[in-house]
Structure 1
Amino acid sequence: MSAPLSILDLAYINAGETPGDSFRASVDLARHAEAWGYRRIWYAEHHNMSIVGSSAPSVLIAHVASQTRTIRLGSGGVMLPNHAPLSIAEQFGTLETLYPGRIDLGLGRAPGGDQQTLRALRRDPRSGDTFPQDVLELQGYLSGQSRTRGVEATPGKGTDVPLYILGSSLFGARLAAALGLPFAFASHFAPGALEDAVALYRSEFQRSSQLDKPHVIAGVNVVAADSEKDAQEHFLAAKRRRVIQLLGRAGVDVPSHAARTILETPAGKQVLQQVEQEMRYTAVGTPLEVRGYLDRFADLVRADELIVASVAVDRRAWLRSVELVAEVTGPGDA
């Protein structure tokens, strides 16, 4: 592989599962990924999504860290405007104290949900405007150089938990470059500005105490299987799950008996076009086909690291996909 691989675990809650089932699957994935040589696993903060269990990344990170030994774990990411920087510094300072050298802190400025969810979180719609200042405040708490007189993070002070800026636009790229931080682009679901954002980040990057040269992480979906036919069937199921999720958020009820035929309905066909655009960067096929795709994708944006999201719905296929990718890539190798 031209770039090392990490994993994005969205803690999916599939039909017939509970959040507890999802968390047990996340622990199982992490234990296997550690043995297979993956560099890190990140968990994303989402709210009010019935199929996503990672609404509290720091809690999930703590649980998975307690069940593993060496793999790095982090947020991909914490939606910082939903929280006070001091609170996040204390949470991740606690994690770093408990599991030294294993914790990452990826930061985003989106709400992690819709406008109604934003109100339920008691979030001011304008809170994202102060994201750059909030990142600096958080960084100060973690480095032990607080920007708020008389206030320090305990735990947190001096832990220097590494920060990453997450984004899907030029805004995140410019901020990461200005602060000299690694930049992770959410191309696994928002691919539109990928190449422009990465080019901007590289051209404007300023060295910092954390990083002396640009570091780009690009998200990509994977569906690897032992046969091309199986991979395509699992990919179709993943698209179907996403269509049903989006229809549900729009207030359209999809009866369980109609789930397999939803893509044949007018509403399903319309939403499917959006889903296929979101999932533009998806590696589907046999292990060697997936490896070839990942190599080409990494070269496209000169990615320093790829973070892969296994999107197969079937649990065995979901885990097997990650295993097959490891077998043909040597995920920790650069």
Structure 2
Amino acid sequence: MELTAESHSIPLSDGNKIPLIGLGTYGDPRTTPKGTTFEAVKLAIELGYRHIDGALMYFNEDEVGKAIREKIADGTIKRGDIFYCGKLWNTFHPPELVRPALVRTLKTLQLDYVDLYIIEMPTAFKPGDTFYPEDENGKCLYHETDLCATWEALEACKEEGLTKSLGVSNFNKRQLELILKKPGLKYPPVSNQVECHPYFTQPKLLDYCQQKNVLVVGYSPLGTSRDASWVNLTCPPVLEDELLVSIALKYMKTPPQVALRFNIQRGVVVIPKSFNPQHVKDNFQIFDFSLSEAEMKAILKLNKNIRFVELLMWSDHPEYPFHDKY
């Protein structure tokens, strides 16, 4: 199948399709000026992006929805052309809170449905009005997780038409198996969104997911910001790697374009986040070249098996996913 800027959707196991590249929309709500996300999403759609990755806890779904609706209104796209992924946050895991959380996302977006709704983390937090509940010592308050019960509530949302597809994020093999082997499973997860880039290629998890027909969506496909408050800085920046730089020169491309192309040639969907108009444009220019088998193998060997996004502040949660090897 020839992938082009105009046609780059691939099938999901439930019969729906997902575009291979999407725009990530996370930005620190404390430092991202109002309107930034709106402008980035609008530009992305004008450039040809058809997949937008968002979340309730990014605090900008109102801007994402406004941009999508504006581009529908001006005739650039129809609703069916756009693939939106929303996420169930950790404080909404109890089954009775799942539908209200999704409805809240739909009201904020002012859309009738999302295309994919995923459990953002397997780690449940204490339900309530705050997204990061803490005790008096500043320690996060956890909640007992029953991922299968949460999943059943998600299945009911799909049956109601509130979401077309269901998936997970940051799940390890054991947690995925819990869902896949659940008695009475109606809709297996179609995707698992995890960190994936040339320094963290996830070979074992990717192999397992492909065996189970679960698509891997790679977040931080270019590495990530160097924010020491939540990022592991022991790993050097991916985009300065000599091999990526030399391959980029050969194709008259940039290291980010090579890193993104590497993942989509492995069948991994990429959702690079950028609010920089030039980067949003450049990240989409990955359909006019391809990497050779030798180049793919060489990039695979760059794997350092080091996560940028460790989320160590929750590493004592019983369902913290990254203690397992994969």
Question: TM-score, normalization: structure 2?
Answer: 0.58
Residue type at the aligned position of 1:321? H
Q: CA deviation at 1:320?
A: 1.1
Indicate how the Cα distance of structure 1 residues 297 and 36 shifts in structure 2: closer, same or farther if over 3 A, else same: same
- The residue correspondences of 1:67-86 to structure 2 (distance < 5 A) are 67-69=70-72, 70=79, 71-75=82-86, 77-86=87-96
In the aligned structure 2, how far is the partner of 1:43 from the partner of 1:60?
Answer: 11
Letter in 2 for 1:134: T
| Residues 1:309 and 2:309 aligned together | no
Letter paired with 1:31: K
SS of match in other structure, 1:10 = coil
The Cα shift of 1:289 comes to 4.0
Aligned-pair distance for 1:29? Answer: 0.8
- For 1:295, the aligned partner's letter is R
CA deviation string 1:147-172 (max 9, x = no partner) = xxxxxxxxxx3434422211152234
- Show the counterpart of 1:146: none
1:153-302 equivalences under 5 Å are 157-175=160-178, 177-178=180-181, 179-188=187-196, 194-203=202-211, 205=212, 213-222=213-222, 238-239=225-226, 242-243=227-228, 245-246=229-230, 272-273=233-234, 287-300=253-266, 302=267
Write the mapping of 1:27-176 to structure 2, written as runs, cut at 5 A.
27-44=38-55, 54=58, 56=59, 61-69=64-72, 70=79, 71-75=82-86, 77-93=87-103, 98-100=110-112, 102-110=114-122, 117-119=132-134, 125-127=142-144, 129-143=145-159, 157-175=160-178
In the TM superposition, residue 106 of structure 1 has moved relative to its aligned partner by 1.9
Equivalent pair of 2:23/2:273 in contact (CA under 8 Å): yes
Distance (whole Å) between structure 2 residues aligned to residue 122 and residue 63 of structure 1: 36
CA deviation after TM superposition for structure 1 residue 324, in Å: 1.1
User: In 2, are the aligned partners of 1:219 and 1:308 still within 8 Å (CA)?
Assistant: yes
The alpha-carbon distance between structure 1 residues 88 and 161, as it changes in their structure 2 partners (threshold 3 A), is: farther
The CA distance in 1 between the partners of 2:282 and 2:141, in whole Å, is: 44
**Partners of 2:201 and 2:286 in 1: how far apart?**
29
Shift of residue 327, structure 1, vs aligned partner:
3.2
User: Number of matched residues?
Assistant: 244
Q: Secondary structure at the match of 1:99?
A: coil
Question: Aligned equivalents of 1:323 and 1:294: distance in 2?
Answer: 13
Which amino acid letter does the alignment assign opposite residue 125 of structure 1? Y
Distance in 2 of aligned mates of 1:99 and 1:174: 32
The Cα shift of 1:101 comes to 5.5
Aligned partner of 1:272: which letter?
L
State the distance in 2 between where 1:171 and 1:193 align. Answer: 19
| Cα deviation code 1:194-213 (max 9, x no counterpart) | 2212222232x2xxxxxxx4
Aligned to 2:49, the other structure's residue is in SS state coil
Which digits, 9 at most, give the CA deviation of each residue in 1:8-64, with x for residues without a partner? 111235xxx755x1x411111110111111121112465xxxxxxx1x466565455
Contact 2:198 2:259 in 1 (8 A): no
Structure 2 residue identity aligned to 1:329: F
Pick closer, same or farther for the CA change 1:295–1:139 going to 2, 3 Å: same
Taking the aligned partners of 2:172 and 2:93, their CA distance within structure 1 comes to: 22
Percent sequence identity is 9
Contact 1:74–1:105 at 8 Å: present in 2 too?
yes
Query: Which residue identity is paired with 2:49?
Result: Y
Native 8 Å contact 1:104 1:161 kept in 2 = yes
Q: Distance in 2 between matches of 1:102 and 1:273?
A: 37
| Cα deviations by residue, 1:39-95 (Å, 9 ceiling, x for unpaired) | 21112465xxxxxxx1x46656545544443433332x3224545444432343466
State how far apart, in whole Å, the 1-side matches of 2:205 and 2:259 are: 21
In structure 1, list runs of 5 or more residues that go unmatched. 47-53, 144-156, 206-212, 224-234, 248-270
